[in-house]
Structure 1
Amino acid sequence: MARSVRWVTGAKTQWTIHGEQLVDENRHIRLSTADVELPDGTRFTQYVARMPRCAMTLVFNDQQQVLLMYRHRFIIDQWVWELPGGYVDGVEDIAAAAAREVEEETGWRPRSMEHLATFQPAIGSVDQPQQVYLARGADRTDTAPDVNEAEKLDWFTLPEAATMIERGEIVGAATVVAVYRALTLAP
């Protein structure tokens, strides 16, 4: 049986927030509960996490391979491949933060930075803008990669990275978004 959906045109219905109460806060997260009312009058409490902006970089080398880091993510208890990246510090330029993270985590310095995508990974309960940059080329530095960031680093072609997503070896939203977005770019 087909289900009909009625769209109201010209009218926007917004949720009403009747208050928000702080649960906990530190420099990486602000956790609160919000008393929310839907347009039909239904009310409920929603957890809200507000986190700083993050910047990641998809680095292409001269052979058009992507630099990925292999690391353990304890929250999901899984070893995964992902892009270098991290929090933007205060009023730091976002592209500069993305480049800084690449160098700190991998020992490679991007030659250029261009915006690739901006997204919110869990828009229903987490406010954490994430910006992904594309670096075309990188140079090895004297900086040793941070041992706390990754078990190993390696370069992969975009099709290899896409296959890694299919196999569940890449699961982080930023890396998935970046790989699929990069596949749409002209060579």
Structure 2
Amino acid sequence: MPRNVEIKALVKNFDALRAKAAKLARAEGTLIKQADTFFVVPNGRLKLRELEGSEAQLIYYERPDAVGPKLSNYSISPVNNPQSLKHTLGQALGIVGEVKKERWLYLVGNTRIHCDRVQFIGDFMELEVVLDQQQQLEEGDIIAKDLMEKLGVEEKDLVHGAYMDIILSKIKN
């Protein structure tokens, strides 16, 4: 199963973050519009990701809901009929909710920098340090922390959980 080290942080100045990410990536980034539907599952998380202009994906992942760098194990399957699959999985498992976002993607080495505008909850930054089979979690932590510093992300801005968790928490309060 593929692995990566992830961090997620709240962003105060979205345009400044995007400028720093573009400088690190030496590219303007790619805009991706996404809608993720989360399903009720006993372990991990299961989501159907619909991408504007691209094939949808069914993504299963396991990741602790901790603040700071954390290991994520995931599996991705392409989906050619997302509406039918969403309906079927919704009937079989139940739907937790939906997350809609505009994501600017920047690539720096083996790391994906995501600058996300998430509907209902605001602006966030996510790092995904993709690990190869030989790399250890500690190496991913070092890369993530180095990029956090270069992007001006502070420890106090880190958040835990998925966007879906933040949305559900906001709805409850």
TM-score with structure 2 setting the length? 0.28
Q: Which has the larger share of helix?
A: 2
Q: Which has the higher contact order (CA 8 A, sep 6+)?
A: 2
